[in-house]
Amino acid sequence: MKQSIFTILLLMQAWICAYSQNEKRALMDANSTYKNENFEDAENRYRTLDPKDPTLKEISEFNLADALYRQGKFEESAEIFGKLARDSQDANIRSKSFHNEGNSHVAAKDYGKAVESYKSALRLDSNAEDTRYNLAYARKMIQQQEQQKQQNQQNQQGQNQDQKDQDKGEQDKNKQDQNKQEQDQQGDKNKDDQKPKDGDQEQQGDQGKEPKPSEQQGEGQISKEDAERILKALENAESDLQKKLRKPEGKAQKKKIEKDW
């Protein structure tokens, strides 16, 4: 962009002579400070001026806005230039004010407003090549902003998709790990269920053995009935023996002992 800022420094000697000596000195001092690029000091000097003539007042305000622009105070300068562009009765001041307002908007990266300001300036002065160039520049910057916005949106969508894919991958991995852990726990549980407990071992041990058969009578053994008959016979025999023992025996006969010689 052509950084052309129009500045009106009261080059017409007739204008200066038309005012009082004090106003003349104050205005010339402010313009001299501006030329020396002491823009902050020039701003203060222009603010103290209070010309009675409307044209001189507009010129003073125009140069004040220019001093603000040079300090990077773009919003303030755009406001003053815009007011002059709408209120001034001088077409030259109006067109230059619109041009400088556009430059202030460009510096603030507000290209949409800059386009409108440049278009207004060209309506007043269609031969202003600097304004036409700056208008094309502002439109180009709008186009670049749109492209950059779309690119940022695509990048953001790509980042969001990458993040979703990453989150999904982590979720799938966590789910797989959880399933594996549950399977391992289930496997350990099944092993514990299959492992016999102490009581189960005894029962299984008993079940593994052949059932012990009941005792059967072997050969030579008597039956219960025979045993009872024998027992009764023994009791009868013993009873008879007891009776005999209680019966007194006869006298014993002396037996002659013969000598064996």
Instruction: Work out the average pLDDT over 3-8.
Output: 60
Instruction: Work out the average pLDDT over 222-235.
Output: 72
pLDDT band (50, 70, 90) for residue 177: confident
Give the per-residue pLDDT at 195.
58
Specify the CATH number of the domain 13-145: 1.25.40.10
Does 123 score more than 90 pLDDT?
A: yes
Domain-wise residue ranges, the chain: 13-145
Range 82-91 burial, b when 16+ CB lie within 10 A, else e:
bebbeebeee
pTM over cut 0.85: no
Share of the chain above pLDDT 70, in %: 67
Q: Which amino acid is at 111?
A: Y
- Under DSSP, the state recorded for 197 is -
More confident residue, 252 or 34: 34
DSSP helix/strand/coil, 89: coil
